């Protein structure tokens, strides 16, 4: 079976991180995120010390550094049989640079998967999310089937559930607007290259995962 390289394009709370892990676990595909690349590059080298300083101050990392790290990672042998690129590219400029990297290292773009999810459904996934600080179980107070049996209490260990301070409608609106302005144009960019596939991400993780499996297996 010839597994393809995969890029995910998705609005906030579409579930791409969870799906990426499921895909990576099942098919033993490297799951490559820019955040992990940056953290993994912190070492005693001059570049590593610079990255540590920038990250500790919450400063933006230049595209040039991210692209350099990405090229190094994709050149490793474990990427020869397919990989999942999560969180990159974030805009058309980065996509153009990524195309150039692929030419330089002799790899095919594979497929780009767009997660089509209703904005209000995605918002519910954020603002309704609560989790257990003890065992890590995650619930959603607004989505049927994902609610705790007793409101505010973990089903598994009985601990009081907590909500992240940034899981608010206001923060979601900000993140969504950034996505629409910066990332969504990638849909047309990759559609014009005939590598874009769309999955319906409104119906839950298992359904979304099944659709993606069909795509990467060429079915």
Catalytic positions, please?
Answer: 16, 90, 129, 164, 175
63: closest CA among 102, 37, 40? 37
211: closest CA among 9, 23, 11, 60? 23
- Alpha-carbon distance of 34 to 145, in angstroms, equals 33
CB 112 within 8 A of CB 190: yes
CB 63 within 8 A of CB 93: yes
38: closest CA among 60, 11, 17, 20? 60
- Alpha-carbon distance of 21 to 31, in angstroms, equals 7
Residue entry with tokens 């596939």: 197
CB 71 within 8 A of CB 104: yes
């Amino acid at each position: 079976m010839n597994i393809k390289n995969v890029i995910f394009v998705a609005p906030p709370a579409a579930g791409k991180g969870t799906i990426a892990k499921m895909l990576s676990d099942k098919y033993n595909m490297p799951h490559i995120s820019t955040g992990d690349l940056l953290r993994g590059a912190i070492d005693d080298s001059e570049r590593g010390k610079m990255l540590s300083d920038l990250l500790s101050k919450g400063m933006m990392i230049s595209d040039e550094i991210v692209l350099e790290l990405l090229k190094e990672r994709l050149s490793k042998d474990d990427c020869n049989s397919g990989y999942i690129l999560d969180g990159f590219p974030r805009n058309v400029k980065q996509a153009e640079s990524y195309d150039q990297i692929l030419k330089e290292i002799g790899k095919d773009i594979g497929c780009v998967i767009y997660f089509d999810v209703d904005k209000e459904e995605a918002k519910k996934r954020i603002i309704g999310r609560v989790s257990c600080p003890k065992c890590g179980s995650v619930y959603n107070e607004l989505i049927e089937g994902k609610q705790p049996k007793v409101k505010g209490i973990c089903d598994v260990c009985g601990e009081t559930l907590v909500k992240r301070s940034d899981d608010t409608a206001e923060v979601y609106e900000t993140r969504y607007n950034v996505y629409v302005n910066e990332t969504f144009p990638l849909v047309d960019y990759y559609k014009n290259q005939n590598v874009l596939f769309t999955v319906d991400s409104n119906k839950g993780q298992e359904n979304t995962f099944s659709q993606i499996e069909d795509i990467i297996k060429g079915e």
